[in-house]
Amino acid sequence: PASKPAPRPFIPTVFELDGHRYTPDSNFNLSPAVTRLFNRKLLTEQGNPLKLIRDRIVEHMHANHRARGNRSPRFTVCENLPRVVSLFDNFDSLLTPADHVSRRPSDTYYVNKDYCLRAHTSAHQYSLLKQGFDAFLVFGDVYRRDEIDRTHFPCFHQVEGVQIYSSEDLFGVQQPGAEISVFDTSDRTALKQAGHTQDTVTVLTLRLKSTLEDLCRALFGSNIEMRWVDAYFPFTHPSFELEVFYDGQWLECLGCGIMEQELLRNAGAGDKVGWAFGLGLERLAMVLYGIPDIRLFWSKDSGFLSQFKGLQPGDDYKYKPISAHPQLYMDVSFFLPEGTTPDNMRANAMDLIRTVGGDLVEQVDLKDDFFHKKKNRHSQCYRIVYRSNEKALTKEEVNAIHGEIADLFVANHGCVIR
Ligand code: FA5
Ligand code: MG
């Protein structure tokens, strides 16, 4: 039998993201499973644990890292950078070899032969260095055609940290004749780059590791168990990973290292040396809040989001597993009787709904609250989310409860159902 041609993925004629337009070609491999994630901006969603982690990291870094001799926070925070980046930014500028596995179309989402979705926040290192930043944090969503399991998802979030130092930044003001050198003519070894003195490597490594250990202790408390593991990245040498003990096993949280001098030279900062790290925010949030599955960050389930909504970045909290049974929601809208204030009605409504719905009501939101000019009456609408911890509720069961609630708004409070 004649074999059918393999189905071709749909390639749009234009692709637009973050205010930029691209022309896809045959390299385009974005599926709806990834494009539909673009509109959720989890890092800005109040009540998303990723936003809480982001705030906690920024607060810690600003409070603990000040520019030399003044009060300004040292790290510039960069967010909302375009998520489509050139292959130069994502790979070449970071010295990633042409045949590196991360370039495979099975690993990276390509828009066309020159552009891809950023696979890590490191994609912004080169251009920010070139713009003259000496210390920055980049927060963003990154995209990889990775496996899907409890700790991996095709979109996740990273924060990149970079700091570069002049000789004086690193070793202080030097006594003439007794200077400590940043550079020498030594060769590259397994432990260091060509041209870096042992003093440079020692001090940079110390500052890098202590910055990250301090950050992790600020997040997880001083009892957290951590360990350093040797690693490899094309753009740092030496390179390390930091693992944190969580749920009975070691979980990799970040990669980091001393920046390759070639990258700094190419970006116009060859007279300085520096370190960089890239940290997975979901991994941190999972440890910090005890969130067992990475997919939960994308949940629109109010049983998940409402747990984090009222928290401050510094609050300690452990996630309570939500029911596996589905939610059902229904609205009830009515005009308030004359003489009842909206605030009063709200308090009464919560009581009434709790009383009738009991444990089957997971959440209540006041969706609408306004004065209806024509009717000369105040109107409110409540969305009630129903869910049982024991079983999947049927529509009929929920209808019965919801009907009773609506009836009591009329009978007990004199509301007029809309
Ligand atoms: C990187 O992305 C490097 N850019 C990190 C880096 C930056 C190294 C600067 C040196 C200097 P890696 O692929 O290991 O490295 O990812 C970094 C972190 O992102 C991991 O430690 C992990 O916390 C998180 N991560 C990686 N893949 C996933 C995934 N599929 N889902 C969730 N988190 C992930
Ligand atoms: Mg890794």
Rg (CA), the chain: 27
> Quick one: 47 and 102 in the same domain?
yes
Which domain covers residue 376, as residue numbers? 328-417
Q: Is the CB of 157 under 6 A from ligand 1?
A: no
pLDDT value at residue 199? 96
User: pLDDT tens digit string along 208-254?
Assistant: 999 999 999 999 888 899 999 999 999 999 999 999 988 788 989 99
Atom of ligand 1 nearest to the CA of 121: 4
pLDDT value at residue 60? 97
Q: Is 351 inside any structural domain? A: yes
pLDDT value at residue 4? 59
Reported confidence tier of residue 71, pLDDT bands at 50, 70, 90: confident
The mean pLDDT value for 270-297 works out to 92
Atom of ligand 1 nearest to the CA of 256: 10
Is the pLDDT reported for residue 149 higher than 80?
no
Reported confidence tier of residue 326, pLDDT bands at 50, 70, 90: confident
pLDDT value at residue 358? 83
Average pLDDT, the chain: 92
Angle, nearest 10°, between helix axes 395-413 and 342-357?
Answer: 140
> Quick one: 280 and 386 in the same domain?
no
Is the pLDDT reported for residue 82 higher than 90?
yes
Reported confidence tier of residue 3, pLDDT bands at 50, 70, 90: low
Q: Is 398 inside any structural domain? A: yes
The mean pLDDT value for 305-313 works out to 89
In this prediction, what percent of the chain has a pLDDT beyond 90? 71
User: pLDDT tens digit string along 361-393?
Assistant: 888 889 999 999 999 999 999 999 998 877 889
> Quick one: 74 and 130 in the same domain?
yes
> Quick one: 409 and 336 in the same domain?
yes
pLDDT value at residue 381? 97
pLDDT value at residue 10? 81
**Domain of 364: which CATH number?**
3.30.70.380
pLDDT value at residue 174? 83
> Quick one: 62 and 202 in the same domain?
yes
Q: What's the gap in Å between 282 CA and the centre of ligand 1?
A: 11
**The domain boundary residue, chosen from 253, 280, 298:** 298
User: pLDDT tens digit string along 350-359?
Assistant: 888 988 888 7
Q: What's the gap in Å between 255 CA and the centre of ligand 1?
A: 6
- Provide the number of structural domains found in the chain: 2
> Quick one: 176 and 35 in the same domain?
yes
| 3-state SS record for the chain | CCCCCCCCCCCCCCEEECCEEECCCCCCCCCHHHHCCCCCCHHHCCCCHHHHHHHHHHHHHHHHCECCCCCCECCEEECCCCCEEEHHHHCHHHCCCCCCHHHCCCCCCECCCCEEECCCHHHHHHHHHHCCCCEEEEEEEEECCCCCCCCCCCEEEEEEEEEEECHHHHHCCCCCCCCCCCECCCCCCCCCCCCECHHHHHHHHHHHHHHHHHHHHHHHCCCCCEEEEEEEECCEEEEEEEEEEECCEEEEEEEEEEECHHHHHHCCCCCCEEEEEEEEHHHHHHHHHCCCCHHHHHCCCHHHHHHHHCCCCCCCCCCCCCCCCCCEEEEEEEECCCCCCHHHHHHHHHHHHHHHHHHHEEEEEEEEEEEECCCCEEEEEEEEEECCCCCCCCHHHHHHHHHHHHHHHHHHHCCEEC
Q: Residue of the nearest CA to atom 15 in ligand 1?
A: 255
> Quick one: 111 and 197 in the same domain?
yes
User: pLDDT tens digit string along 167-185?
Assistant: 999 999 888 888 899 999 9
pLDDT value at residue 406? 97
Q: Is the CB of 276 under 6 A from ligand 1?
A: yes
> Quick one: 334 and 290 in the same domain?
no
Q: Higher pLDDT residue, 134 or 176?
A: 134
Residue with tokens 């360990």: 227
**The domain boundary residue, chosen from 251, 276, 298:** 298
Q: Is the CB of 120 under 6 A from ligand 1?
A: yes
Q: Is 341 inside any structural domain? A: yes
CA–CA gap between residue 69 and residue 235 (Å, rounded): 31
Is the pLDDT reported for residue 135 higher than 90?
yes
**Domain of 44: which CATH number?**
3.30.930.10
> Quick one: 284 and 348 in the same domain?
no
> Quick one: 161 and 287 in the same domain?
yes
Q: Is 1 inside any structural domain? A: no
> Quick one: 397 and 277 in the same domain?
no
> Quick one: 289 and 363 in the same domain?
no
Q: Is 263 inside any structural domain? A: yes
pLDDT value at residue 347? 83
**The domain boundary residue, chosen from 298, 319, 349:** 298
